[in-house]
Amino acid sequence: RTTPRSAEKRRHYSRLMNVPYQPTRPCQSRRLPVRGLEYHLHVWGDPMASDSPVLLMLHGFMDLGASFQFMVDAMREGRGIVAPDWRGFGRTAPAPAVDAYWFADYLGDLDALGDALSPDRPFDLLGHSMGGNVAMTYAGVRPSRVRRLINLEGFGLPDAPASEAPSRLALWLDQLKQPLSMKAHASREALAARLQHGNPRLGADQAAWLAGQWAEPDDLGRWHLRADASHRRVNPVLYRAEEALATWKAIQAPVLWVEGALSTPEAHWAGRYSRAEFHRRLSVVPDVRREILAEAAHMVHHDQPGTLARLVDGFL
């Protein structure tokens, strides 16, 4: 049986020897039919046998379910955990002939996943970034289905005025005529180096392991992200904050909001949206607890997996 001390020794060894991270709770890879797609699931424990509610973990944009491995390794055992790869990400293929992605499809997929994995009782829901936005909307639309909700850095988007509709739709139509592709990386090591450049808090062993999950090699040895290039097209549907708030007000589950102290939403949105504006929006949620993690930015589950795991375990 793996103990916290033995797990830390394995991680320390991986860092010293410059080898990929060694998970202490390896996941099972499973498939599940969801709305005409074969969804790929990362599964820890037995979701159907545990006395605790199943915990669904929803990854963010250009990410995949395996990204939660570091956090799961630090969590208490005994709970069934499932992290799907969203449609067109990871090992879940896109719908046939898809050329654009719609936010409502994520809600439809989540609803079907919940029915399959926890048909008779509410489940717990955790989402990061885009996954956090999906989780918040779903919990307001299906309030009786969610027991506890954890939102990791799912800030939402700047409010889009109606006047932007013509130019947004025109841009989308123009992009539909352009072929898209994902950037290839020369090697797994090159991708790992890019991951560390983007997040200097990521250990070399973590980056090496993530690179092998996020991408796969082609016949020439170049590594490509496991993501459909169509995700790069602009969304033609405007984000209306008023509609989001109407949904958030209907959330009945207690909500744990977690953000990184080093996160920079203002810079990401070039001043069009701020942390303060998000917290004003969050105040409409009936029952919310707010936490800030030091030495963590947007990828809180990579930067502080142990601290985050303790927060989540206690909240659940």
pLDDT-derived band at 1, boundaries 50, 70, 90: very low
Spatial separation of the C-alpha atoms in residues 127 and 57, rounded to whole Å: 6
Per-residue pLDDT reduced to its tens digit, 134-159: 999 999 999 999 999 999 999 999 99
**Sign of the four-CA dihedral 95, 100, 106, 108:** negative
Q: Which two tokens stand for residue 107?
A: 């809600």
- Mean pLDDT of the 21-42 span: 96
264 pLDDT more than 90 = yes
Mean pLDDT along residues 269-289 = 96
Average of per-residue pLDDT across 152-177: 96
Question: Taking the CB of residue 89, how many other CB atoms lie within 10 A of it?
Answer: 26
Average pLDDT estimate for 18-42: 94
- What pLDDT is attached to residue 233? 94
pLDDT for the residue numbered 97: 85
Q: Identify whether the C-beta of residue 109 lies closer than 8 Å to the C-beta of residue 86.
A: yes
Phi then psi dihedrals of residue 40, to 5 deg: -95, 130
Q: What is the pLDDT of residue 14?
A: 47
Residue 55, classified by CB atoms within 10 Å of its CB into exposed (0-12), middle (13-18) or buried (19+), is buried
Higher pLDDT, 101 or 5: 101
Q: What is the pLDDT of residue 8?
A: 55
What pLDDT shows up at residue 50?
A: 76
The pLDDT of residue 9 is above 60 = no
Res 5: pLDDT: 55
For residue 263, pLDDT over 80 is answered with yes
Measure the CA–CA gap between 104 and 106, rounded to whole angstroms: 5
Tokens describing residue 281? 């929006």
**pLDDT tier at 12, thresholds 50, 70, 90:** low
> Tens digits of per-residue pLDDT, 194-225?
999 999 999 999 999 999 999 999 999 999 99
pLDDT > 70 fraction of the chain, expressed in percent and rounded: 94
Q: Which residues pair with 225 in a beta bridge?
A: 215
Residue 132 burial by Cβ neighbours in a 10 Å radius (0-12, 13-18, 19+): buried
CB contact set of 97 (below 8 Å; sequence gap of 6+): none
Kindly state the tokens that stand for 296: 């963590």
pLDDT at 10 over 60: no
Across the range 161-181, mean pLDDT stands at 95
- For residue 17, the model assigns a pLDDT of 47
Answer whether residue 11 shows pLDDT above 70: no
* CA atoms of 299 and 304, how far apart (whole Å): 9
pLDDT above 50 for 307: yes
Confidence of residue 184 (pLDDT cuts 50, 70, 90): very high
pLDDT at 310: 98
